[in-house]
Amino acid sequence: MELASLDPRGPAAADTAVLWWILLGFGGAVFLLFLVVLLRALRSRASESDGDSPDLIRRFLIGGGLALPVVVILMVFGLTVGAMMRFPALGSSDRLVVELTGYQWWWDVVYPQSGIRIANEMHIPVGAEVEVRMRSADVVHSFWVPTLAGKIDLLPDKQTALVIEASEEGSYRGVCAEFCGLQHAKMAITVVAVAPDEFEAWIRQTATGPPAPTGEAEVRGQTIFLETGCGECHAIAGVASGNRGPDLTHLASRHTLAGGTVPNTIGHLRSWIADPETIKAGTEMEPAGLSEQDLDDLIAYLATLE
């Protein structure tokens, strides 16, 4: 789904959208009033009349320049505080918790209650509050899924948190909303909201690691993965435990690659491993330097990581 803050699919985003429409309404009304006054002034100048009396001008200045802004600002302030007070309080113990860490330029996603670690994708149940606790591993990033909630920064030295809730099933696109270096624009995240029972099934399935490879190419691919040093940076449950790059335990079930840059297809995976710079210049991922055959086998193995 697009980054549409005016097409909200969650209570926090709905509050924000209502505020936006009210602000647009106020802004539009004041602009129309201004046009009417301007036209009137131009007309009286064209007819070379004496214009409005000083008393009318004085009243207009006090009303339009003082009273109207004070009323509008107070109303908008009240509505904003009201919307803020409807934000759920942090720290509720019966909520699903997701720990999100921002890296240049990808997202590490951990479910501490079930020990699941994935990347660049967050699965949540529909109709439930989810507490997202955030931190950055390097510079300041910002988590923003416009259809679900407002944005909040991920800081290197302090945890921040936000409660999100989706009211409908769907895949919601999120981005990093704070400039964080060369590939800030290629730091996307997908929030997948599913029915609660489907979510429970996802948790059960994902909590178990990937099956051991059985085919000849897949077994060889796993050896190549380890011998090439992929495991120095990437973890795969039961196989490798690198932590500089995204966890690959469930790579094959992901929708995107390279921090949301391209769809997760065999072709993209191949280009990404062979020469990451062509997809995301500046990435820390290095070219694997493999023969075509080795690359084929490695990809055959990675495709088993459901």
Q: Which residues bind ligand CUA (CB under 6 A)?
A: 102, 105, 141, 176, 178-180, 184, 187
Exposure of 302 by Cβ count < 10 A (0-12 exposed, 13-18 middle, 19+ buried)? Answer: buried
Q: Answer for the pair 125, 113: CB distance below 8 angstroms, yes or no.
A: no
In the complex, minimum distance from the CB of residue 246 to ligand CUA, in angstroms, rounded to a whole number: 14
The least CB distance from residue 190 to ligand CUA, in Å, is 15
| CA of residue 46 relative to chain centroid, distance | 55
Residue 155 C-beta: closest distance to ligand CUA, Å:
12
Alpha helices in the chain (DSSP H): 11-46, 54-62, 68-85, 196-207, 216-227, 230-233, 266-274, 292-302
State in angstroms the smallest separation of the CB of 163 from ligand CUA.
21
Helix (H) / strand (E) containing 249? none
- Distance CA(180)–CA(144), nearest Å, equals 14
The helix or strand, by DSSP H or E, that contains position 99, with its residue range, turns out to be strand 96-103
Q: How far is the CB of 189 from ligand CUA (least distance, A)?
A: 10
Q: Which is nearer to ligand CUA, 125 or 259 (CB)?
A: 259
Measured between alpha carbons, how far is 229 from 19 in angstroms, rounded to an integer?
51
* Minimum separation from the CB atom of position 96 to ligand CUA (A): 24
Chain-centroid distance of CA 3 in Å reads: 9
Cβ(120)–Cβ(260) below 8 Å: yes
Exposed, middle or buried, 107 (CB in 10 Å: 0-12/13-18/19+)? buried
- Closest approach, Cβ 185 to ligand CUA, in A, equals 8
Q: Cite the DSSP H helix spans in 135-211.
A: 196-207
CB of 283 to ligand CUA, least distance (A): 13
| Crossing angle (nearest 10°) for helices 266-274 and 292-302 | 130
Q: Which is nearer to ligand CUA, 141 or 173 (CB)?
A: 141
| Shortest distance, position 138 Cβ to ligand CUA, whole Å | 9
DSSP-assigned beta bridge partners for residue 135:
101
**Looking at beta carbons only, is 184 or 270 nearer to ligand CUA?**
184
Cα(111)–Cα(126) distance, rounded to whole angstroms? 16
Find, among 191, 188, 197, the residue nearest to 124 by Cα: 191
For ligand CUA, which is the closer residue by CB, 150 or 210?
Answer: 150
